[in-house]
Amino acid sequence: MKPNHISQINQVKEAVEEVNVQNIYFVACGGSLASLSTGDYFIDRELSIPSKAMTSNEFIHTNPKGLGENSVVILRSHSGTTPETVKAATFAREKGAITIAISIDEQSPLCKEAEYTVHYNYKDGSDAIDGEIGVYFTLLFSLLNVLAPNEKYERVLDQLNKLESLFESNKKLTYDTAFNFGKRNKREKLIYTMASGAYYHQAYSFTSCLLMEMLWINSNAIHSGEYFHGPFEITDFDVPFLIIKGEGPTRPLDERAISFAEKFSENVEVVDITKLDYSGIDEDLKEYFGPALAGVVLRQYADGLSEHTGHPLSVRRYMWKMDY
Amino acid sequence: MKPNHISQINQVKEAVEEVNVQNIYFVACGGSLASLSTGDYFIDRELSIPSKAMTSNEFIHTNPKGLGENSVVILRSHSGTTPETVKAATFAREKGAITIAISIDEQSPLCKEAEYTVHYNYKDGSDAIDGEIGVYFTLLFSLLNVLAPNEKYERVLDQLNKLESLFESNKKLTYDTAFNFGKRNKREKLIYTMASGAYYHQAYSFTSCLLMEMLWINSNAIHSGEYFHGPFEITDFDVPFLIIKGEGPTRPLDERAISFAEKFSENVEVVDITKLDYSGIDEDLKEYFGPALAGVVLRQYADGLSEHTGHPLSVRRYMWKMDY
């Protein structure tokens, strides 16, 4: 039996083909917003159709004037229950937009509110192509291929079946480095992250969800291009930075930031995405696969901190414990 | 003699009227980007024409596909010398976009690279209407009035002449509170800021340029809507927050964040923008004026920290002192 999401994505493609798409909104909260924002980045680069990523409640309350029958709104919530994102689906649907919900639970409120559902598997032992990144990238490059057909996108869709083996090989490749980072930084109460382009959202996610939420470590995800316009003054010999050196056109921004940070801080960890394993991926497609690989690699840096601080990533003081 | 910027803005209006504007980009770095982003927010709300705010080097390297002859690119650099922003002007102009440079120096590289220049006065004793906020808001609401004529915008343009007196009255109104904040927080090494909507950019600017750059205090500007999706787990009885309670449609997001933060932190400072003086401003225009007033009020919070920490806002360790 073919996985569910293939037929679901085909339905989305048909719906999008029937509309003169004027804009695309990516709407979610926290880590889900960060994941979707990779799409915002690629659409900026690849399409003349405008896109915007917004946190769900800002989307509803700002009430963008461009939202309407020619809009595509992609929403995501892991459980499909995030109240703001469910409301955003209702809001966008009432405006006549094509609404697409991404979640692990097809029966969730979000999937019920949105017109289209795209389901992904989670921790059930299935291949990465059917997991959150595989499914989202399948959706994204399928949409790109509908809106601006290109043989490149077909190759991306084809090579996504390498994700499973690349996740495994890259986890092995970075395990020791990541756990050493955790060991060296276990006493740190603040760690800055930095990145640009598609990777900025990885830094944002690492800062918000892994450092602040799961590890209670203070942080701020600084854009490599913005670093020199204020934030760099905080740099000092003992200020820790975790910097993503991206694979893609904004890499020179990261290189410049790393070069400066390394001059004045003795604690700069560089995660170089070009050094990862890309076996089976065409050279010209690496910039699309880098962001897909970065997440699993960064997760190991959080695992390393968790191991050495003795602070499990599952501990919360507020989330799931009370109404807010 | 009429101030220079009026005729300059008239030239911009004429240029924009002649083009079928497909998108608007706001391009700058740091505090200048934060200022311009207010325009991105209002265009989202008021126009169906898409807009995007991007840091200059990300704009160049990402190379947005939508950028072309039907684009308007608004750039800003206080001195007009920020290299990335000068390059962004060249880049956008080569793509055929209408380029508008905002700066204090009409002879600066930025103003020379851009097709149109809008000049503002700075610390020369002239009225606020001719200063950075007065001139930028005049440009912004003039453009809105060209792209989607509305008597509301004409009233905004008319009432901008109240800015000078409102800056003065609101500085007096918030002086004691701001300096007390500085006194109470002078030992803090980390202060989080939070806001939403148009005010998010004020929080970003306060975090990047005032706390991190000028005061060397660690910070992160958290979006009020994102707070509950990760960052709120960092909240504790002794974690300081400076939260902007906006005047405008996203205020409920701030109220929710404040209500939570106040429950678990004993150090939450709320800057309520509705409590400011709006004498002479029509009730339905307050949401446009709030962001114009917020900056001068927030500046006093930095002045208060500077006073009580003995750390002048003019001190830098890297900026202006070396090449980077």
State pLDDT tens for residues B213-247: 999 999 999 999 999 999 999 999 999 999 999 99
B44 and B168 fall within a common domain? no
Reported confidence tier of residue A4, pLDDT bands at 50, 70, 90:
confident
What is the pLDDT, as a whole number, of residue B30? 98
> Stretch A88-112: mean pLDDT, rounded?
98
Domain boundary among A127, A149, A171: A149
The Cα of B54 is separated from the nearest Cα of chain A by a number of Å equal to 10
User: Are A120 and A180 in the same domain?
Assistant: no
The pair phi, psi for residue A78, each rounded to 5°, is: -50, -55
Rounded to an integer, the average pLDDT of A11-21 is 97
DSSP symbol at A298: H
Q: What is the mean pLDDT of residues B158-180?
A: 98
Q: Read off the pLDDT band of A151 (50, 70, 90).
A: very high
**Residue of A57, A223, A319 lying closest to B233 (CB–CB):** A319
Same domain, A116 and A247: no
Contacts of B228 in chain A (CB under 8 A): 29-30, 324
Identify which of B68, B82, B233 has the shortest CB distance to residue A316: B233
Question: Are A48 and B65 a contacting pair at CB < 8 A?
Answer: yes
**Tokens linked to B126:** 């002239």
Structure tokens given for B44: 């989202």
Chain A contact set for B226 (CB, 8 A): 29-30, 33, 55, 208
Contact B61 A260 (CB under 8 A): no
In degrees to the nearest 10, what's the CA dihedral of A43, A49, A54, A56?
-110
Closest residue to A208, CB basis, from B82, B226, B260 = B226
Residues of B in contact with A316 (CB under 8 A): 233
User: Domain check: are B34 and B134 in the same one?
Assistant: yes
Residue B226 lies inside a defined structural domain of this protein: yes
Name chain A contacts of B61, Cβ cutoff 8 Å: 196-197, 249-250, 252-253
> For chain A, what is the mean pLDDT?
97
Q: Which residue in chain A has the smallest CA separation from B239? A: A218
Q: What are phi and psi of B310, to 5 degrees?
A: 70, 20
pLDDT greater than 90 at residue A203: yes
B227 within a domain of the structure (yes/no): yes
Same domain, B139 and B166: no
User: Is B171 part of any domain?
Assistant: yes
The verdict on a CB contact (< 8 Å) between A52 and B44 is yes
Nearest C-alpha neighbor of A224 from the set A212, A297, A248, A238? A248
* Interchain contact, A232 vs B196, CB within 8 Å: no
Strand partners, A101: A75, A117
Nearest to B230 among A30, A260, A264 (CB): A30
Q: Based on C-alpha coordinates, what's the Rg of chain A?
A: 19
Q: Do B62 and A50 touch (CB under 8 A)?
A: no
Tell me, what's the pLDDT at B302?
A: 98
pTM of structure: 0.97
Distance of CA A263 to the CA centre of its chain: 30
**Tokens representing A62?**
């700002």
Q: In the prediction, which pLDDT does B290 show?
A: 98
Based on the fold, state whether residues B267 and B166 are members of the same structural domain: yes
Of the CA atoms within 13 Å of residue A106, those in its CB half-sphere come to 9
Residue A155: what are its φ and ψ, rounded to 5°? Answer: -70, -40
Interface mutation target, options B23, B78, B214, B229, chain A, most CBs of A under 10 Å:
B229
- pLDDT tens per residue, range A162-179: 999 999 999 999 999 999
Q: What is the mean pLDDT of chain B?
A: 97
In a domain, A324, yes or no: no
- Among B208, B205, B306, residue whose Cα is nearest residue A192: B208
Please determine, for residue B3, whether its predicted confidence score (pLDDT) is greater than 70.
no
A105 in a structural domain: yes
Residue A97: is its pLDDT beyond 70?
A: yes
Q: What is the DSSP string of A169-185?
A: HHHHHHHHHHHHHHHHT
Query: Is residue B65 scored above 90 in pLDDT?
Result: yes
Domain termination site, one of A94, A114, A149 = A149
Q: Which of B49, B220, B321, B322 to mutate to test the interface with A (most CBs of A within 10 A)?
A: B220
In a domain, A317, yes or no: no
Q: What's A284's DSSP letter?
A: G
- B318/A55 Cβ within 8 A: no
The answer to whether residue B319 is domain-embedded is no
Is the pLDDT reported for residue B111 higher than 70?
yes
The last residue of a domain, from among A96, A117, A149: A149
Q: Which residues of B touch A31 (CB under 8 A)?
A: 229-230
User: How many CB pairs below 8 A link A and B?
Assistant: 203
Please compute the mean of the pLDDT values over residues A137-150 and round it to a whole number. Answer: 98
Question: Could you tell me if A210 and A118 lie in one domain?
Answer: no
d(CA B80, CA B98): 18
Inter-chain residue contact A45 with B64, CB threshold 8 Å:
yes
Strand order, beta sheet including B268-272: B221-223, B192-195, B241-245, B268-272
Is residue A1 scored above 80 in pLDDT?
A: no
The residue segments making up the domain with residue A17 are: 4-149
B232 and A318: CB-CB below 8 Å?
A: yes
What are the chain A neighbours of B82 within 8 Å (beta carbons)? 229
CA–CA separation, B225 and A85 (whole Å):
11
Domain count within chain B: 2
Backbone angles phi, psi at A121, to 5 degrees: -80, 155
- Do the chains contact at A31 and B230, CB–CB below 8 Å? yes
Mark yes or no for CB contact B48/A68 under 8 Å: yes
Q: Choose the mutation target among B150, B208, B223, B318 for the interface with A, i.e. most A CBs under 10 Å.
A: B208
A68 and A145 housed in the same domain: yes
Cβ contact, residue pair A228, B190, below 8 Å? no
Q: At residue B1, does pLDDT exceed 60?
A: no
Compare CB distances from B62 to A29, A44, A213 and report the shortest one's residue: A44
Domain annotation covers residue B156: no
Q: Do B260 and A324 touch (CB under 8 A)?
A: yes
Question: Are A35 and A89 in a shared domain?
Answer: yes
Output Rg (C-alpha) for chain B, integer angstroms. Answer: 20
**Chain B positions in Cβ-Cβ contact with residue A30 (cut-off 8 Å):** 226, 228-230
Q: In what order do the strands lie in the sheet with A98-103?
A: A51-55, A23-28, A71-76, A98-103, A116-119
Which has the closest alpha carbon to A194: A140, A234, A153?
A234
Q: Do A249 and B41 touch (CB under 8 A)?
A: no
- Selected for mutation to probe chain B from A51, A233, A311, A322 (highest B CB count within 10 Å) is A233
For residues A44 and A34, what is the distance between their CA atoms, to the nearest angstrom? 16
Question: Same domain, yes or no, for B137 and B172?
Answer: no
Residue B9 C-alpha, separation from nearest chain A C-alpha, in angstroms? 25
Average pLDDT over residues A130-157: 98
Instruction: Give the pLDDT score at A2.
Output: 54
Local structure of residue A224 (DSSP, 8 states): T
Sign for the CA dihedral angle at A200, A205, A208, A214 comes to: negative
| pLDDT tens per residue, range A256-312 | 999 999 999 999 999 999 999 999 999 999 999 999 999 999 999 999 999 999 999
Q: Which of A86, A89, A132, A100 is nearest to A8 (CA)?
A: A100
Q: DSSP of A72-136, one letter per residue?
A: EEEEE-SSS--HHHHHHHHHHHHTT-EEEEEES-TTSHHHHHSSEEEE---SSS--GGGSHHHHH
Q: Taking CB atoms and an 8 Å limit, are A213 and B230 in contact across chains?
A: yes
CB-CB neighbors (< 8 A) of A68 in chain B: 48
Chain B hits for A317, CB-CB cut-off 8 Å, are 233
Average pLDDT of the segment spanning B90-108: 98
Cβ–Cβ under 8 Å, residues B301 and B242: yes
Whether the predicted pLDDT of B2 surpasses 60: no
CA-nearest residue to B53 within chain A is A52
pLDDT at A207: 98
Over 60: is that where the pLDDT of B156 sits? yes
Contact residues on chain A for B33, CB-CB shorter than 8 A:
226, 229
Question: Do residue B139 and residue B177 come from a single domain?
Answer: no
Q: Kindly state whether residues A34 and A109 are assigned to the same domain.
A: yes
Q: CATH number of the domain that A166 lies in?
A: 3.40.50.10490
| Nearest residue of chain B to residue A240 (CA atoms) | B218
pLDDT digit string (tens) for B192-214?
999 999 999 999 999 999 999 99
How many other β-carbons are positioned within 10 Å of the β-carbon of residue A299? Answer: 17
